[in-house]
Amino acid sequence: MAESMHAKRTDRCGNLRREDVGRTVTLCGWVAKRRNLGSLLFIDLRDVSGVAQITFDDTVDKGLFDKANGVRSEYCLCVTGKVRERGTDENKKMATGAIEVLAERLSILSKSETPPFEITGDCNAGEELRLKYRYLDLRRTEIKDCLVLRHKVCKIARDYYDANGFLEIETPMLCKSTPEGARDYLVPSRLHHGSFYALPQSPQLYKQLLMVAGYDRYMQIARCFRDEDLRADRQPEFTQIDLEMSFVDVDDVITVNEGFLKKVFKEVLSVDLKLPLPRMPYREAMDRFGSDKPDLRFGFEIKDITEIAAASDFKVFRDAVEQGGTVRGININGFADKISRKEIDSLTEFAKTYRAKGVAWLKFQGGEISGSFAKFITDEEKLKIASAFGAGGNDLILIVADKPKTVFASLGALRCEIAKRLGVIKKDDYKLLWITEFPLFEYSEEEERYVAMHHPFTSPMDEDKDMIESAPDKVRAKAYDIVFNGVEAGGGSIRIHDADLQERMFRAIGISEREARVKFGYLLDAFTYGVPPHGGMAYGLDRLIMLLADTQSIRDVIAFPKVQNASELMTESPSEVPEKSLLELGIKLADEK
Ligand code: ASP
Pocket test for ligand 1, best of 242, 243, 482 (most atoms within 8 A of CB): 242
Pocket test for ligand 1, best of 455, 488, 542, 543 (most atoms within 8 A of CB): 455
Residues 202, 224: Cα–Cα separation, whole Å: 5
Residues 539, 542: Cα–Cα separation, whole Å: 9
Residues 153, 147: Cα–Cα separation, whole Å: 10
Residue 179 has pLDDT above 70, yes or no: no
Under 8 Å between Cβ of 203 and 523: no
Start-end of H helices in 88-244: 127-132, 134-137, 141-163, 204-212
- The predicted-structure confidence for 491-542, as pLDDT tens digits, reads as follows 999 999 998 999 999 999 999 999 999 888 999 999 999 999 999 999 999 9
Confirm whether pTM is higher than 0.75.
yes
Question: Looking at residue 3, what is its pLDDT?
Answer: 95
Show the ligand 1 pocket: residues with CB < 6 angstroms. 202, 204, 491-493, 536-538
126-140, 174-188, 424-438: the lowest-pLDDT one: 174-188
Percent over 70 (pLDDT), the chain: 99
Exposure string over 3-17, b if 16+ CB within 10 A, otherwise e: eeeeeebebbbbebe
Question: Chain-wide mean pLDDT for the chain?
Answer: 95
Question: Looking at residue 178, what is its pLDDT?
Answer: 78
Start-end of H helices in 378-425: 379-389, 404-422
Q: Which helix (H) or strand (E) holds 106?
A: strand 99-110
Kindly give the distance from the C-alpha atom of residue 336 to the centroid of ligand 1, in angstroms, as a whole number: 43
- The predicted-structure confidence for 533-586, as pLDDT tens digits, reads as follows 999 999 999 999 999 999 989 999 999 999 988 999 999 999 999 999 999 999
- The predicted-structure confidence for 1-12, as pLDDT tens digits, reads as follows 789 999 999 999
Question: How many helices (H) and strands (E) are present in the chain, helices listed first?
Answer: 17, 22
Under 8 Å between Cβ of 549 and 249: no
**Distance (Å) of CA 104 to CA 98, 248, 512, 555:** 20, 64, 78, 41
- Closest ligand 1 atom to Cα of 224: 4
Residues 37, 398: Cα–Cα separation, whole Å: 61
Q: Whose CA is nearest to atom 8 of ligand 1?
A: 537
Question: Looking at residue 208, what is its pLDDT?
Answer: 97
Kindly give the distance from the C-alpha atom of residue 215 to the centroid of ligand 1, in angstroms, as a whole number: 18
Under 8 Å between Cβ of 301 and 330: yes
Residue 162 has pLDDT above 90, yes or no: yes
